[in-house]
Amino acid sequence: MDRPPVKRHHGLVRLAHWLNAIFLVGMVASGLQIYAAFPHFGPRGAPYPVPNPWAGESFPEWARLGGWLAGGLNWHFALAWPFVITGGVYLGFLAFSGEWRPLLFRLRDVRPAIDMQLYYLRLRREHPPQGKHNALQKAAYTGIVVLGAISVLSGFAIYKPVQLSWLTALFGGYELARYWHFVTVWIFVGFTLLHVGLVLLVDPASLRGMITGWYRGRFPSHD
Amino acid sequence: MTDRGGVSRRDFLRLGIAAGPASLVAACGWDGGATLEPRLRAFGRINDWVGEKIFLSRSRLAPGYPASARTAERLFPAYSITYNQKRVYPEPPSGWELEVGGLVRSPARLTLEMLGGLPPVSYTVKHHCVEGWTAIGTWTGVPVSVVAELVRPLPEARYLRFDSFDSGYSNGWDLASAMHPQTILAYAYNDRPLTRERGAPLRLYSPVKLGYKLTKYVTTLSFTRERHGGYWEDQGYPWLAGV
């Protein structure tokens, strides 16, 4: 049952995707190294009662990049550039090419998203019709861009809390901005696990699609 | 092809796929090694430039806090290199004076009394440590810009350098941050003269820099042509460290 291959992802999107994966791993690992220097949130001696299973703990060496605080900072502030630039190029391409249309989650996607969730929960027999991506995928791919933006903005908020005090205030002050920055890490990690899990379990052909640009899987567009 | 050496092309491909993440994992806990680490540091110069020329405002003031917001003094960490090594805070040399020189028209030596006679600046601000903690305290002293007016730097002076009697601790500064109205040579903390662990008799303070740029136990302030690094900066910490 050979399906005709479908052209799926523009070269720029594929490049941005894989570069982003590398830079994100580096950003997270160097961030965890930085965290080890003060594994608490809130002012000195008055920690905020925010949920943090890693309060007072450092992460295992294999998860950290930089070796010590200065090394972690240097990696983090160097990788931040290509991380942000890749994100910017990706968004610029989406805006310019119109490729944002099948990706952006809109109000009208709420109902199909529920249907899709019901299908995944085996409460609905039929796979709901979809375009390039189903409504849940749209939610995920829109959400991850928003998450990326929050991670970058909260990063700037703790990088320059005096010069960008308006931004830091938006996150509830330096100490909370630092916490939100940390929280984005775990959403990124959760997203990645789910994303990789779904690719491998539901649609392994999409992995080839993201590498070669040609998709031969079982979810061709219903468009 | 597949039989030669017992490693098929597919195996080789698998090995390659596994090697990527594995090398990444092996790289962790790693500062970049002899090749990459100096490059990462050199890259930091770009961030220093952006931090000084784009982010730093010469006039924007760090927000002030009421005295009631001060961090309890026992919770506001103090450290010195000498203390880390010998468990005693450094003692000022007898006849201590602040030496102000380098590329200036009229070098000067200032006693604590002379500094106390200059118009003081006092503020209660948030201290940002590179480690990620913060603490609030009140600092009183003379703006570095006021001292600079006394000695009149030469046009070729591009940086400042602060030296101390704390086991060679020093810091190089950009002029823009040093001339910021809130960058002061502080002689009081929380309304009392500096104690030994806070950097007595005189320390640099500024809410626009991370704590490790705020030289304690200051002996000398020199205007320079070259960019001086500093105790932590020479070990790899970001040089500008502006917040």
Q: Which residues of chain B have pLDDT under 70?
A: 1-29
Q: Which residue of A lies nearest to B237 if distances are taken between CA atoms?
A: A70
Do residues B183 and B204 make contact, with C-beta atoms less than 8 angstroms apart?
yes
Question: What percentage of chain A exceeds 70 in pLDDT?
Answer: 98
Report the gap between the CA of B14 and the closest CA in chain A (Å): 15
Asked if A74 lies within 8 A of B208 by C-beta distance, the reply is no
Q: For residue A153, give Cα distances in angstroms to A89, A131, B55.
A: 17, 32, 14
Nearest to A71 among B126, B207, B236 (CB): B236
Note the pTM of the prediction, 2 decimals.
0.90
CB pair distance less than 8 Å for B76 and A44: yes
Instruction: Report the interhelical angle of A11-35 vs A69-97 (nearest 10°).
Output: 150
How many residues would you count in chain B?
Answer: 243
In chain B, residues with a C-beta closer than 8 Å to the C-beta of A74 are 31-32, 37, 40-41, 43-44, 236, 238
Please, are residues A56 and A40 in contact by the beta-carbon 8 Å criterion?
yes
- pLDDT-derived band at A222, boundaries 50, 70, 90: low
Average pLDDT in chain A: 92
A166 lies within 8 A of chain B by CB: no
Which tens digit of pLDDT belongs to each residue from A138-186?
999 999 999 999 999 999 999 999 999 999 999 999 999 999 999 999 9
Checking DSSP bridges between strand B218-224 and strand B98-102, what pairing results, if any? parallel
CA distances from B81 to B3, B148, B213 (A): 63, 28, 14
Contact: A66, B51; criterion CB under 8 Å: no
Look at residue A127 in the predicted model and tell me its pLDDT: 84
Report yes or no: A38 at the B interface, CB cutoff 8 Å.
yes
pLDDT score at A202 = 87
Question: In this complex, how many residue pairs, one in chain A and one in chain B, have their CB atoms less than 8 Å apart?
Answer: 118
Tell me the domains of chain B and their CATH numbers.
60-235 (3.90.420.10)
Q: Which has the closest alpha carbon to B227: B52, B110, B60, B98?
A: B52
Model confidence at A2, in pLDDT bands (50, 70, 90)?
A: low
Cα B80 to Cα B103: distance, rounded to the nearest angstrom = 29
| Alpha carbons B179 and B173: distance in angstroms, whole number | 10
The pLDDT assigned to B61 comes to 97
Across the interface, of B46, B60, B135, the residue whose CB is closest to A163 is B60
- What is the reported pLDDT for B7? 45
User: In DSSP terms, which residues pair with B126 in a beta bridge?
Assistant: B136
- What three-state secondary structure class fits B179? coil
Distance from CA of B156 to the nearest CA of A (A): 27
Helix or strand (DSSP H, E) at A214: strand A214-215
Res B16: pLDDT: 47
Distance from CA of A102 to the nearest CA of B (A): 31
Please report the pLDDT score of residue B31 as a whole number: 79
Cβ A65–B27 below 8 Å, yes or no? yes
**pLDDT value at position A126?**
86
Give CA–CA dist B170/B212, Å, rounded: 10
pLDDT at residue B2, rounded to an integer: 37
Contact A71 B31 (CB under 8 A): yes
Contact call for A37 and B130, based on CB within 8 A? yes
B29–A78 CB contact, under 8 Å: no
Distance CA A35, CA A76 (A): 12
Q: Does A45 touch chain B (CB under 8 A)?
A: yes
- Measured in angstroms, the CA of A213 and the nearest CA of chain B are apart by 19
Distance from CA of A35 to the nearest CA of B (A): 8
Of the candidates B29, B30, B38, B61, which has an alpha carbon nearest to the alpha carbon of residue B208?
Answer: B61
Any B CB within 8 A of A167 CB: no
Contact yes or no for A163 and B243 at CB 8 A? yes
Q: Max alpha carbon distance in chain B (Å)?
A: 89
From chain A, pick out residues whose CB is under 8 angstroms from the CB of B63.
165
The pLDDT assigned to B56 comes to: 96
Q: Is A67 an interface residue toward B (CB < 8 Å)?
A: yes
pLDDT value for B6:
45
The two three-digit tokens of residue A215, written as one number: 């998709």
Which structural domains are found in chain A, ordered by start? 6-215 (1.20.950.20)
Phi-psi region of A14 (alpha: psi -120 to 50; beta: other; left: phi over 0): alpha
Buried b (16+ CB within 10 A) or exposed e, B4-26: eeeeeeeeeeeeeeeeeeeeeee
Q: Looking at beta carbons, which residues of chain B come within 8 Å of A46? A: 71, 75
| Inter-chain touch B55–A38, beta carbons under 8 Å | no
Query: Measured between beta carbons, which residues in chain A are less than 8 angstroms from residue B56?
Result: 163
| pLDDT greater than 50 at residue A206 | yes
Q: Reduce the DSSP state of residue B242 to 3 states and report it.
A: strand
| Whether A65 and B51 lie within 8 Å, measured CB to CB | no
CB atoms A163 and B135 under 8 Å: no
The token duo for A100 is: 């944002």
Please give the average per-residue pLDDT across A74-97, as a whole number: 96
Residues of B in contact with A75 (CB under 8 A): 31-32, 40
- What's the CA angle centered on A195, arms A191 and A200, to 5 degrees? 155
pLDDT score recorded for residue B187: 98
| Statement: residue A53 has pLDDT above 60 | yes
